[in-house]
Amino acid sequence: MTHPFLDLAPLSAAHFASIEDRVARLLSTEQDVVIMQGEALLPLEGAIRGAAGAGTTALNVITGPYGQTFGNWLRDCGATVVDLAVPFHTAVTAARIREAFAEHPAIDFVSLVHAEAATGNTNRS
């Protein structure tokens, strides 16, 4: 059995490049646009791995399982990670973030999941 949405031919590199060009024009940017085929966590992991590394001190706010995963990626990159964990049924407060910065002034990277899909938790001030 076939399905018109599930049985699509893979996109060629040229097709991906044309989509990236159109997105760049839409966003009025001359910067590179990268489109990845995969689940949503793929570009998130790529962003963390591209931005953090040895010498980075990261505040990793954990309000659910995705926050834990982000911390693991940061550690894998060689970053020094300061975890700020709260119970998964609560959100982190701005006061807790301020305290973490005061206790760890070397923090130069923050990882925070705004909306934890697994818990339904949303972090907002």
Residues 67 and 109 in one domain: yes
Main-chain phi, psi angles of 58, to 5 degrees? -110, 135
Residues 70, 22 share a domain: no
Q: Is residue 49 within 8 Å of 21, Cβ to Cβ?
A: no
Together in a domain, 38 and 86: no
pLDDT-derived band of residue 1, with 50, 70 and 90 as boundaries?
low
Range of the domain at 24: 11-51
Instruction: Tell me if 48 sits within 8 A of 111, measured CB to CB.
Output: yes
C-beta neighbour count of 27 within 10 angstroms:
10
Q: Are residues 58 and 117 in the same domain?
A: yes
| Domains in the chain, number | 2
Cβ atoms of residues 121 and 89 within 8 Å: yes
The span from the CA of 80 to the CA of 115, in Å, is 24
90-109 residue pLDDT tens? 889 999 999 999 999 999 99
pLDDT, mean of residues 110-114: 90
Closest CA to 61 of 84, 77, 38: 84
Task: Report yes or no on whether pTM surpasses 0.85.
Answer: no
> Which pLDDT does position 125 carry in this prediction?
58
Give the whole-angstrom CA distance, residue 112 versus residue 25.
29
| CA proximity to 105, closest of 70, 68, 71, 80 | 80
Q: For residue 36, tell me if it sits in a domain.
A: yes
pLDDT single digits (tens) 54-74:
999 999 999 999 999 999 999
What is the average pLDDT score of the chain?
89
